[in-house]
Chains A and B, each alone.
Chain A
Amino acid sequence: MTATTTIPATGKANEKADDAPTLSGAQMILKALTELGVEVVFGYPGGAVLPIYDEIFKQDKIRHILVRHEQAAVHAAEGYARSTGKPGVVLVTSGPGATNAVTGLTDALLDSIPVICLTGQVARHLIGNDAFQEADTVGITRPCTKHNYLVKDTDRLPDVIHEAFYVATNGRPGPVVIDLPKDVQIEKAVYKRSGQRGEHRTYRPQLDGDEAALHAAAEAFARAERPILYTGGGIINAGPEASELLAEFTRLTGAPITNTLMGLGAYPATDKQFLGMLGMHGTWEANHAMHDCDVMMAVGARFDDRVTGRVDGFSPGSTKIQIDIDLSSINKNVPVDIPVIADAGRALKRLIEIWKEQGYEKSQPDLAPWWKQINHWRTKKCLSYTDSEEVILPQKSLERLAHFTRGKDAIFSTEVGQHQMWAAQFLGFDKPNRWLTSGGLGTMGYGLPAAVGAQIAHPDRLVIDVSGEASFQMNLQELGTIAQYDLPVKIFIMNNEYMGMVRQWQDLSYDGRRSHSYSESLPDFVKLAEAYGIKGIVVEDPAKLDEAILEMLGHDGPVLMDCRVAKIENCFPMVPAGAAHNEMLLAGDVIGKPKDDDALAVV
């Protein structure tokens, strides 16, 4: 079935006041976006959106950023959204414009990023006729959006656009597509919103947790001898206040805390209670503490398979508390003992109050033995590596990058692979909204356009895309966008001439048969940058690394840095395929192949 969604007309909206001015659909779209406070749209024109582009041309309230590929438009909107907390807006044409946006939409769905994507569509009478640049956009995007609309009546535009923003930004955020037939953009109607404001007729996320469940959660956590907080992207989505409340609650309880990949920055990495990231490439101390804890409190985290490892070996003895705004996140992968459906910030606020009301700080068990154990795990120094004077170690390059950017409040984006995991391990974030990465979908090519979006939102901030030479090539056309808008994005390519993570898995699980994971025929990245009028730097000598990083940071404009790093370095710690948290590998461990086909089947 490829039918579409429209919102039931409420009557009032359709009554045409005698003297009310009529607007074209395209004018209505711009008016609605302006009402909603949209400042920037990332887009790419085409036949089916020409009426909207014509209106964009005539106004100056909304800025349009021309990307070079529709996928990049969505990632840029994600970067914008993640770094500002505001929804990102995308405008693309029908057919290939919409299908190119699908990867970005799926990425935003898996990472719960609020994005509104306006897609052009062929005129209503042509829908279903295999018209030029026609695609069943609502059919194609139904499983990769939080919701989607096909607007068949021009007078529905104000309501649909307002509702789309509501749906994208409320509850668990996500991408929403509005498909706009070209004749709907041209037709004129009266701009009027129907009566249904405030509460949505069906979609009303629960923001405040059940009081009894919150009390049970606080009590269980207060009684824990080995508690741990495990928090994710939900904290970031709940806004910066939620991060502050998380810090307050963590200090109040004295418990150790670990963040997921998506949750980095929600808790200061420099704080002594922070154990680092957990999961497949998480720290030794975070994963062991998760495995051995007696009470775990998950906040805005969804027990993803990269976090849990083998599910039946995941923290086997612990009582699990989960706070999430999405009921479907509860009991999905791991059975939870105390679920709380709530906004992360509101739940934390209430937990702090309950903690104080009940005087739990006095009745809490002594956590010193637990911290002693954790500090023992920390002595493993699981992120250590063997440095070299001949070649730049990837970890070293990030350590130096982190060193020189400290205090500059930089925003980092990444692509996907080894460099992403090293960035998560070594950069260290103290505040939310400064870390843009593709966690759920693992989209190579995310980082460069995401950096564009973040730099557009924050023109005066330092924005760095930590990249790999393979991922970078997936959306390198965005160098054009960077050049056009003179965005001072710094692109830090950790060039090891391999799809490093693929190569690492081939070495660990496939007897080192490096099937098609070598980056053949790489361009000269400096010349490539220069072709776009961008400064290019190459560094290979470890002795010149600092100088090169300083040159990159010191340049007043975009820079592409080709940082040649050790080619065959593996990313550790690593929870191998099909293993549990406490079966982590460290650098230098003797590594056996996966135990069985089941383990091999784990991606």
Chain B
Amino acid sequence: MKEIGPIARHTISVIVDNEAGVLARVTGLFSGRGYNIESLTVAEVDNTGERSRITVVTSGTRMVIEQIKAQLDRLVPVHKVADLTIDGAYVARDMALVKVTGTGEKRVEALRLADTFRARAVDASVNSFIFELTGSTDKIDAFVELMSDLGLVEVARTGAVALSRGPGGL
């Protein structure tokens, strides 16, 4: 249906059976129905190795977000779907590896900024660094933006992983 109402970004957690094909079911659902994926992370999360947690950041109108959750929930290997954005406060973190080259003042400035952002240098050569940085999507965007003037070579980023605040869990 034609979109009515404001478009909002939502972070959705999906607990799934850790079985082959489950990621294809989820991503196929998004592409097949024309939903947006801003980021998606997936990894096995429990000790027995039978469940994975998918964190997907998506955007849409209220009706579209409702649809996304309902469509995810009816996939057979899906245990639980939670919309962290509407369920309350939550913590979300991305990680990035940022490679920067430079010498002299630019190299020093890159190090200073990295320190300000609490990024760690995980690789260094005489004219390059790889910084490891975790934080919100915005924080990483800001860091990458700053590095672009200081010899940015390439960036590898994860999507968001997120948990609700407080003692409760999925």
Do the beta carbons of A328 and B21 come within 8 Å of each other?
A: no
Please report which residues of chain A, range 1-38, place their CB below 8 angstroms from some CB of chain B when the two chains form the complex.
Answer: 1-8
- CB of B71 within 8 Å of the partner chain: yes
- CB neighbours (8 Å) of B135 from chain A are none
Provide the bound-state CA to CA distance between A142 and B21, in Å.
9
Please report which residues of chain B, range 12-68, place their CB below 8 angstroms from some CB of chain A when the two chains form the complex.
Answer: 17, 19-25, 27-28, 32, 50, 63, 66-67
Do the beta carbons of A5 and B19 come within 8 Å of each other?
A: yes
B 147-164 binary contact with A (CB < 8 Å = 1; else 0): 000000000000000000
- CB of B118 within 8 Å of the partner chain: no
- Other-chain contact of B17, A8, A143, A327, A335 (Cβ < 8 Å): A8
- Other-chain contact of A5, B2, B21, B71, B78 (Cβ < 8 Å): B21
How distant is B91 from chain A, measured CB to nearest CB, in Å?
A: 26
Provide the bound-state CA to CA distance between A332 and B66, in Å.
9
Provide the bound-state CA to CA distance between A146 and B77, in Å.
11
With A8-B50, A147-B76, A333-B1 already in contact, the answer to whether A142 and B70 are too (CB < 8 A) is no
- Other-chain contact of A328, B23, B24, B67 (Cβ < 8 Å): B67
- CB of A448 within 8 Å of the partner chain: no
Provide the bound-state CA to CA distance between A327 and B67, in Å.
8
- CB neighbours (8 Å) of B79 from chain A are 201-202
Do the beta carbons of B76 and A167 come within 8 Å of each other?
A: yes
How distant is B40 from chain A, measured CB to nearest CB, in Å?
A: 12
Do the beta carbons of B67 and A143 come within 8 Å of each other?
A: no
Question: What bracket does the count of chain B residues touching chain A fall in?
Answer: 20 to 34
Do the beta carbons of A311 and B2 come within 8 Å of each other?
A: yes
- Other-chain contact of A7, B1, B19, B63 (Cβ < 8 Å): B19
Please report which residues of chain A, range 193-220, place their CB below 8 angstroms from some CB of chain B when the two chains form the complex.
Answer: 201-203
A 122-162 binary contact with B (CB < 8 Å = 1; else 0): 00000000000000001100110011001000000000000
How distant is A202 from chain B, measured CB to nearest CB, in Å?
A: 5
Provide the bound-state CA to CA distance between A521 and B41, in Å.
56
Provide the bound-state CA to CA distance between A326 and B50, in Å.
26
- CB of A330 within 8 Å of the partner chain: yes
- CB of B73 within 8 Å of the partner chain: yes
Question: What bracket does the count of chain A residues touching chain B fall in?
Answer: 20 to 34
- A146's nearest neighbour on chain B, judged by CB, is B76
Provide the bound-state CA to CA distance between A1 and B40, in Å.
15
Provide the bound-state CA to CA distance between A135 and B17, in Å.
25
- CB of B165 within 8 Å of the partner chain: no
- CB neighbours (8 Å) of A326 from chain B are 70, 74
Do the beta carbons of A311 and B22 come within 8 Å of each other?
A: no
Do the beta carbons of A327 and B70 come within 8 Å of each other?
A: yes
Do the beta carbons of B20 and A3 come within 8 Å of each other?
A: yes
Provide the bound-state CA to CA distance between A202 and B21, in Å.
16
Provide the bound-state CA to CA distance between A333 and B66, in Å.
12
Do the beta carbons of A331 and B67 come within 8 Å of each other?
A: yes
Do the beta carbons of B77 and A202 come within 8 Å of each other?
A: yes
- Other-chain contact of B63, A4, A147, A331 (Cβ < 8 Å): A331
Do the beta carbons of B17 and A202 come within 8 Å of each other?
A: yes
How distant is B120 from chain A, measured CB to nearest CB, in Å?
A: 32
With A8-B17, A311-B2 already in contact, the answer to whether A2 and B24 are too (CB < 8 A) is yes
Do the beta carbons of B70 and A5 come within 8 Å of each other?
A: no
- Other-chain contact of A327, B23, B50, B74 (Cβ < 8 Å): B74
Do the beta carbons of B2 and A6 come within 8 Å of each other?
A: no
- B72's nearest neighbour on chain A, judged by CB, is A328
- Other-chain contact of B24, A142, A172, A201 (Cβ < 8 Å): A142
- CB neighbours (8 Å) of A6 from chain B are 19-20
Provide the bound-state CA to CA distance between A167 and B78, in Å.
13
How distant is A509 from chain B, measured CB to nearest CB, in Å?
A: 21
Please report which residues of chain A, range 292-329, place their CB below 8 angstroms from some CB of chain B when the two chains form the complex.
Answer: 311-312, 326-328
Provide the bound-state CA to CA distance between A19 and B38, in Å.
55
- A176's nearest neighbour on chain B, judged by CB, is B76
B 62-99 binary contact with A (CB < 8 Å = 1; else 0): 01001100110111111100000000000000000000
**Taking each of B24, B63, B71, which has the highest tally of chain A beta carbons within 10 Å of its own beta carbon?**
B24
Do the beta carbons of B24 and A335 come within 8 Å of each other?
A: no
Provide the bound-state CA to CA distance between A267 and B63, in Å.
32
Do the beta carbons of A1 and B21 come within 8 Å of each other?
A: yes
- CB neighbours (8 Å) of A5 from chain B are 19-22, 77
How distant is A158 from chain B, measured CB to nearest CB, in Å?
A: 18
Provide the bound-state CA to CA distance between A203 and B76, in Å.
6
Do the beta carbons of B25 and A142 come within 8 Å of each other?
A: yes
How distant is A395 from chain B, measured CB to nearest CB, in Å?
A: 34
Provide the bound-state CA to CA distance between A2 and B27, in Å.
12
Provide the bound-state CA to CA distance between A201 and B48, in Å.
15
How distant is A504 from chain B, measured CB to nearest CB, in Å?
A: 26
**22 A-B residue pairs with CB within 8 Å:** A1-B21, A2-B24, A3-B20, A3-B24, A4-B21, A5-B20, A8-B19, A8-B50, A142-B21, A142-B24, A143-B32, A146-B76, A202-B17, A202-B76, A326-B74, A327-B70, A327-B74, A328-B70, A328-B73, A330-B66, A330-B70, A331-B67
List chain B positions with a Cβ less than 8 A from chain A: 1-2, 17, 19-25, 27-28, 32, 50, 63, 66-67, 70-71, 73-79
The 9 closest A-B pairs by CB, nearest first: A3-B20, A328-B70, A1-B24, A327-B70, A147-B76, A5-B21, A3-B21, A203-B76, A4-B20
- Beyond A202-B76, A326-B74, A331-B63, 19 additional contacts (C-beta under 8 Å) are A1-B21, A3-B21, A5-B20, A5-B21, A5-B22, A6-B19, A6-B20, A8-B50, A147-B75, A147-B76, A171-B74, A202-B78, A202-B79, A203-B76, A328-B70, A328-B71, A328-B73, A332-B1, A332-B67
